[in-house]
Amino acid sequence: MTGVTIGAWEGGKNDAGTSMLYKLADLYGVCRAWLLAGEGPMRCAEATAAPPIAKPVPPSMFHKYEPPAKPAARKRRRGGDR
């Protein structure tokens, strides 16, 4: 799973899908209902394993956004140069 994938989920561009959310809930020990719908307790009583410690994301996974370059303005002809 990449930073781009997670960014697309957060930005609403892509849907994570129920099966992926189930896997994430199980991995981090949170209740599926809480993750999917925000209902019930965040931590399930049967969750015994602590979530893994996240590793820092390397800067190479991110890129600086640069808007597309605007086309150069066309010069207007003046006078009778047609």
pLDDT digits (tens, 9 = 90+) for 1-47: 788 887 887 788 877 778 888 888 888 888 888 888 888 888 876 54
What residues does each domain of the chain span? Answer: 3-53
* Confidence at residue 48, expressed as pLDDT on a 0 to 100 scale: 53
Question: How confident is the model over 39-75, as pLDDT tens digits?
Answer: 888 887 654 555 666 777 677 767 677 777 877 777 7
Single pTM value for the model = 0.43
* Confidence at residue 79, expressed as pLDDT on a 0 to 100 scale: 65
Structure tokens at 17: 């899908």
Q: Which one, of 18, 20, 52, 14, lies nearest residue 37 by Cα?
A: 18
* Confidence at residue 81, expressed as pLDDT on a 0 to 100 scale: 57
